[in-house]
Chain A
Amino acid sequence: MSNLGHTIRREFPLFNDPANQGLVYLDNAATTQRPRQVVEAMQDFYYHDNANPHRGAYRLAERATQSYEDARDKVAGFIGAASSEEIIFTRNATEAVNLVAYAWADHVLQEGDDIIVTEMEHHSNLVPWQMLAQRHHASLRYVGFDGQGQLQLDQFDALLRLRPRIVAVTQVSNALGTINPVAEMIRRAHAAGAVVVLDGAQSVPHMAVNVTELDVDFLVFSGHKMLGPLGIGVLYAHKRLHSAMQPVLYGGDMISNVDYDHSDWNDMPWKFEAGTQNVAGAVGLAAAIDFLRDLGMDAVAEHDRLLTGYALEQLQQLDGITLYGPRRNHGPAISFNLTGIHPHDLATYLDQASIAVRSGHHCAQIVMKKLGLAATARASFYIYNTLEEVDRLIAGLNQAKDYFKKWL
C-alpha cells in the first residue's frame, strides 16, 4: 500500500513536467491534481461529443446529453443516492450550500428559528447560514470543539433541544483534520426534527460516503478536490426535500413551459440547472470517480491513514511544534505552527525547497479565533503523496527552524 503514491504518480502529468521536478505537493485540501484520464475524458468530449445537451434533435446533441446524464448517474452511484434526480450539478461546494439556502431554506425558515453550525466550518458552510439567519431573523448557534479538535456533542445535544430547523456540519475539517461522527449526529438531528446539510468537500474525496446509509438530507462537495476539474460541484438533495425546493436561477432548460405571463418548471434536477451547463466538467468528474473507484475508496482512505499517521508521528518529534486537531483518527489535513516562525514565512521557506504547503486561516476564521491564532501552516495529503515526501517535509521544517533561528 505504501507504494500507491509511487505507482499512481505516473498518471499525473503535472508531476512529470520538468518545471515541477521534485515538487512535493501538500496542499490537497485546497485542490488536487488531475490524472491524465480526467483531462483526456474532457478532451474527448470536446473533440467528439460536444453540443448543447437537452436541446438538439440531432444525434450529436443526443451524445452530449448522454455524456452529461451519464456523469450524473455516476455521481449518484458513487455516493449511494437512490436516484439521479437527487444530483444537481453546481460550480462547487460553496455554490451548492448557497443553493440549499436559497432554493430550500429561504422557503421554510421562519422568524425565531434556530440554525446550528459548528465552530470548525469552512466559510462556505457558515457565511450562507449567517446571511440566511439575517434574512429571516433566525438564530445561528455554534457547536464548539475541544482541545483535541473534537466537536462537543453535549453542546450539540443541548442545542438540539431548541428543535432547530437546520443543522449544517462538515464531515471532515479542512483546518483541524477532525473526522466528525456525522452518522450519529444526523440521527440525533433528525430525532429533533432538523434537516441536515453535510459538507463533504473534505470527506467525499477521501472515504466512502453513502448518503443512503447516512440518511442525510443535503450533501455538498467539489470535483476539484477529488481529481476532477475546477468549476464542477455537486448538491445531493434527498427526494423528501424536493417538493419544498424552488428554483433560484431562471432561464433556459429549467422550464417546461413558458407563457406570456407565467412559466412552469422543468423536473428535478434540471429546474436547478438554468442555462447551458459545464458538461465537460461533469464528464471530467465522472472520469475522476472512475479513477477513484478503480483504486477503491477503502484503499484511498488507507493510504491517507498511512501518510497522516506517519506525518503526525514525525511532526510530534520536532521541537517547538504545536499540532492542532485530534491525536487519533485524524483526517489527511494537518495544521501546525513552529514557535517563533510565522506560517507565511515558513511556507515561503518550504517553497524554496519545492514543498507546497498552505499558510493562513484556511477559510476557517472561526477556528483561528477559537484557537487564538491568526494563521497556521497546513500539510494535506492525497493518493499520489509518498512517505518520502513526508520525510522531505520534516527535513524542510528542520532546515526552516535553523534558518529562522536568528530571528527568534
Chain B
Amino acid sequence: MALDQLYQEILLDHYKQPRNKGVLVDPNVRLELKNPFCGDEILLTLRVDDGVVTDVAFSGHGCVISQASASVMTEKIKGMTVQQVKQMAEQFSDLVKTGHAETVLREGGDDLDAFSGVCEFPTRVKCAMLAWRTLLQGLEHHEHQHHYLDDEKSRATD
C-alpha cells in the first residue's frame, strides 16, 4: 500500500520519540516558520560556531511527516558544516519531490531515505520540507548578520 511507503516505521519512531526536541538556551540562529496551508509550526534554534552546526533543537507541532522530518534533520546536521547542511537540504528536497537521492544523502543513512515515499503525495512535500526550509532561512539570516559584523569589524580597524 502506497500509504505504508509514506508512513514508514522509521518515521513512526521519530514521531513518537522526537530527537532534539526543545529550545536551545543560547542559540545564535533562531527562526520560526509556519506552513500556512495546514497550520504546522516549527521553532528551530541552532548554535553555529566557526561555520559548523554544534547544536540544534526544534519545537512546535504538526503532522507525522513534518515532525519526523524535523527530528531526523536535527540528528543529521549536528556536526556538519553550513556548506554540507545546504547540500543535504537540496538533496533532501530532490528526494521528497522525486523519490531519488544523491550520494550525500545515501551516506546520511536510512532515516533520510525513509522520506522517499513522500514524492507519491505531492500535498505532503511541504510538510517534509518545513524544517529544512526553516533551517535554510535561519542559516541565511545568520550569514547576513556575520557579513555585516565582519564588515563592521573591518571598518573599525581601517
- Complex contact A407–B16 (CB within 8 A): yes
**Is B111 close to A, CB under 8 A?**
no
Given contacts A352-B3, A403-B3, contact A344 B16 (CB under 8 A): no
Q: Which residues of B contact A267 (CB under 8 A)?
A: none
| CB-CB nearest in chain B for A346 | B63
A161 to B41, CA, bound (A): 39
A374 to B123, CA, bound (A): 18
**Is A348 close to B, CB under 8 A?**
yes
**Is A342 close to B, CB under 8 A?**
yes
- Complex contact A375–B39 (CB within 8 A): yes
Given contacts A374-B61, A406-B12, A407-B16, contact A344 B40 (CB under 8 A): yes
- Complex contact B65–A374 (CB within 8 A): no
- Complex contact B123–A348 (CB within 8 A): yes
Mind listing 11 A-B residue pairs with CB under 8 Å? A342-B62, A342-B63, A344-B65, A344-B124, A344-B127, A345-B7, A345-B65, A348-B121, A352-B3, A374-B40, A403-B3
Q: Which residues of A contact B15 (CB under 8 A)?
A: 407
- 18 more A-B residue pairs beyond the given contacts A344-B38, A407-B12, A407-B15, with a C-beta to C-beta distance below 8 A: A342-B62, A342-B63, A342-B64, A343-B63, A344-B40, A344-B63, A344-B127, A345-B65, A348-B6, A348-B121, A352-B1, A352-B2, A352-B3, A359-B38, A360-B37, A360-B38, A374-B40, A403-B7
| CB-CB nearest in chain B for A403 | B3
**Is A349 close to B, CB under 8 A?**
yes
| CB-CB nearest in chain B for A373 | B39
Q: Quick one: which of B1-19 are within 8 Å of A by CB? A: 1-3, 6-7, 12, 15-16
A374 to B1, CA, bound (A): 29
A365 to B12, CA, bound (A): 29
B38-63, CB under 8 A of A: which get 1 and which 0? 11110000000000000000000111
- Complex contact A374–B3 (CB within 8 A): no
Q: Quick one: which of B97-138 are within 8 Å of A by CB? A: 121, 123-124, 127
Which of B1, B38, B124 contacts A375, CB < 8 Å?
B38
Q: Which residues of B contact A403 (CB under 8 A)?
A: 3, 7
Q: Could you say which of A348, A361, A403, A407 has the most chain B C-beta atoms within 10 Å of its C-beta? A: A348
Q: Which residues of B contact A61 (CB under 8 A)?
A: none
Interface size of B by CB at 8 A reads 22
**Is A338 close to B, CB under 8 A?**
no
Which of A345, A349, A360, A406 contacts B39, CB < 8 Å?
A360
| CB-CB nearest in chain A for B123 | A348
Q: Taking the nearest CB of chain A, how far is it from the CB of B9, in angstroms? A: 9
A183 to B158, CA, bound (A): 73
A360 to B39, CA, bound (A): 6
- Complex contact B38–A407 (CB within 8 A): no
- Complex contact A345–B38 (CB within 8 A): no
| CB-CB nearest in chain A for B12 | A407
Q: Quick one: which of A341-389 are within 8 Å of B by CB? A: 342-345, 348-349, 352, 359-361, 365, 368, 374-375
Q: Quick one: which of A30-79 are within 8 Å of B by CB? A: none
| CB-CB nearest in chain A for B127 | A344
- Complex contact A349–B3 (CB within 8 A): yes
Q: Taking the nearest CB of chain A, how far is it from the CB of B39, in angstroms? A: 4
Given contacts A348-B121, A407-B12, A407-B16, contact A374 B64 (CB under 8 A): no
Q: Taking the nearest CB of chain B, how far is it from the CB of A71, in angstroms? A: 34
A345 to B61, CA, bound (A): 13
A357 to B2, CA, bound (A): 19
| CB-CB nearest in chain A for B6 | A348
Q: Which residues of B contact A374 (CB under 8 A)?
A: 38-41, 61-62
B135-157, CB under 8 A of A: which get 1 and which 0? 00000000000000000000000
- Complex contact B64–A345 (CB within 8 A): yes
Q: Which residues of A contact B3 (CB under 8 A)?
A: 348-349, 352, 403
- Complex contact A361–B39 (CB within 8 A): yes
- Complex contact A407–B64 (CB within 8 A): yes
| CB-CB nearest in chain B for A342 | B63
Q: Which residues of A contact B65 (CB under 8 A)?
A: 344-345
Q: Which residues of A contact B124 (CB under 8 A)?
A: 344, 348
Q: Which residues of A contact B39 (CB under 8 A)?
A: 360-361, 365, 368, 374-375
Q: Which residues of A contact B40 (CB under 8 A)?
A: 344, 374-375
| CB-CB nearest in chain A for B124 | A348
B51-92, CB under 8 A of A: which get 1 and which 0? 000000000011111000000000000000000000000000
| CB-CB nearest in chain B for A363 | B36
Q: Which residues of B contact A359 (CB under 8 A)?
A: 38
Q: Could you say which of A344, A352, A359 has the most chain B C-beta atoms within 10 Å of its C-beta? A: A344
Q: Taking the nearest CB of chain A, how far is it from the CB of B132, in angstroms? A: 17
Q: Taking the nearest CB of chain B, how far is it from the CB of A342, in angstroms? A: 4
Q: Which residues of B contact A345 (CB under 8 A)?
A: 7, 63-65
Q: Which residues of A contact B2 (CB under 8 A)?
A: 352
